[in-house]
Structure formats: structure tokens, C-alpha cells
Amino acid sequence: MAHFIKQPLVQFLIGGALFYIALAAFGPSENEGDNSYLVVVDDPALLLYLQYQDKAFDTAQAKLLLSSLDEVGRARLVAEYVRDEIMVREAVSLGLDQNDDVIRQRLIQKMDFIFQGFGGEKGEVTDADIEAFYQANSDRYVQPKQATFTHIFFNGRDRGVDVARRDALDTLAELNEGQVSFEQAGRYGDRFFFLRNYIERSDRLIADHFGDGMAEQIFSVEPSTTWTGPIQSKYGFHLVMLRGKAPAKTLALEVVADQVLADMERERLDDIRRAAYQQAADNYTVIQQPSAAPEAR
């Protein structure tokens, strides 16, 4: 038993219990003039509590959930709310919220949820709303230019730059004389670090894999069944058969309607949060002290 009591965790729990008993015995007693010991449970408080638990701020959904609770369910919710409220107040009264970045970030996150809720019911989004947002932000819904090609790679590091270029030129003549097809490319060259075949891949991905210079050259070639090259990348040399390419184009609204709606809702919530924050910030005065002059050396 003595060994058990000497355990650090046990001592911490015993000390905490004794501290709580002392706080209850000698701390301030509840009275009508001290609101810090008054817990008011009403529908707005429970609605806010429910939304915290769901980590989302959907007032309509919270109201629906609250109204669907039977007597037992509501009593359980009230008990959970009261317990959490008392725990938080006791923690704050002991200063446990001070100088704790995790708690600060959680408080910031919760205030962000509250600010989001200040917009009230968002109302129904109409087709006209979606159309207007799409037209105002059409540059977001652009499909980049794409290319379909295969390539044969000659590793400049392993073969050496001069040898890799010479081998690529020799193979180019062989490919076109033998009318080697797109599907037969895998029989030649070295293994590339990324893909052999690129099917309707964007210019950005092609540039990421080969470098901007080679990507520009690929898109400058006209699609055909012949091989072209060698084109130099940062890895070596490539023989390319380009089978198709397409320019960048703005996607039709019916294709991206779901994405447009999601973007629109996100921006509306961001606007609500910013406005609510600014309303709160207007109540504060910020005084910035001048920085100390650097000490002379």
C-alpha cells in the first residue's frame, strides 16, 4: 500500500482531490450576486453546445436534433452540458487556460465556429446565384491544355550526355523506318522515373515530370504516328510520339456545378466569419509599443 501511494500519478490524484476539497470548503460560496456559479440551461445554450460537439455550425440541423430528443435524451444532454460548463469554469478559475497554446487554438477554433453562425440561416441558393458566381469566377473552372503521348528515354546520367544523345538519334531512325507503334515503345530505351505513357495529362504535370522546356516542345509538335526528337529534359533525352493534344478551355457550368456550389458556400461562410470578427474587433483598442533599439556592440 505504501509503495502504491508513492507512485507519482497517485500522489498527483490525491493532491488534486485534497485541493478540490479545500476549494469547496473554503472557496467562495454560491450566491445570487455571483454569476460565475450560475449555470443557465436554455435552448440557445444547448444548440450551441450541440454544434460544438458536431464540430460544425449548422443551426438548422442542431435545431432538428434538439427537437427530436425525448425526455431521457434531453436530460442526458443537459447533464453533459452542465458537467462540461462546470469543468471549464473550474479550469479557468484555477488558471489552467493560461499560457497553453493548445487551449488557445481550441478557443480560436470555437470562436471561428461562433462567428460563422452569426450569419443566421443562409437561405436557399438559386440557380441564378450559382450562374452569377460561375460567371464572376470562370477562370477557376478552366481545364488546362492536355497532351497524349508516349516517349522513349535515354538516361543522360547513366549513359553520359553525348552517348545518350547519339543513342537517341540512332534509335529515332530505327523507330520511324520500322514504323514502331505507340504500344511498342516499352521495348526501347531506359526506364523513366515517372510514366511511359501520358494519356490526356495536363501541361503542368508534364512540366513537373520533364521540365518546362520539354513540355513546351511537346505541345509545339503536331499529333502524328511518327516519332520526333531527341528532346532533352533534365534527366536525359527522349523520343516522343504525340498522338493528341487539346487547348485549355473553360468547363461548362453543368460540368462543374457541384464544385461551383461548394466554392460559393465556402466564400459566403468566409465572408460571414470575417464580418463577425471585424464587428468584435471594433470593440478593441490595439496599442503597439515601439520595439527596443538594438544594443550597440
Task: Render pLDDT for 15-47 as a digit per residue (tens, 0 to 9).
Answer: 444 444 444 444 444 444 556 778 888 888 888
The 10s digit of each residue's pLDDT in 118-139 is: 555 556 788 898 999 999 999 9
> Do the domain assignments include residue 158?
yes
The 10s digit of each residue's pLDDT in 83-116 is: 888 888 888 777 877 777 887 777 777 777 777 6
Q: For 64-68, 209-213, 253-257, 284-288, which range has the lowest pLDDT when averaged over its residues? A: 284-288
> Do the domain assignments include residue 6?
no
Q: Are 87 and 169 members of one domain? A: no
Long-range CB contact pairs, 247-253, < 8 A, 24+: 247/145, 248/142, 248/143, 248/144, 248/145, 249/142, 249/143, 250/138, 250/139, 250/141, 250/142, 250/143, 251/141, 251/142, 251/143, 253/130, 253/131, 253/134
> Do the domain assignments include residue 75?
yes
Spell out the residues 6+ positions from residue 123 whose beta carbon is closer than 8 angstroms to its own.
Answer: none
Q: Are 150 and 110 members of one domain? A: no
Q: Are 106 and 161 members of one domain? A: no
d(CA 172, CA 188) in angstroms, rounded, equals 10
Report the domain count for the chain. Answer: 2
Mean pLDDT value across residues 245-262: 93
Mean of the per-residue pLDDT values of the chain: 82
Instruction: Give phi and psi for 228, each to the nearest 5.
Output: -130, 155
Least Cα distance to 228 among 147, 169, 158 occurs for 169
pLDDT score of 137: 93
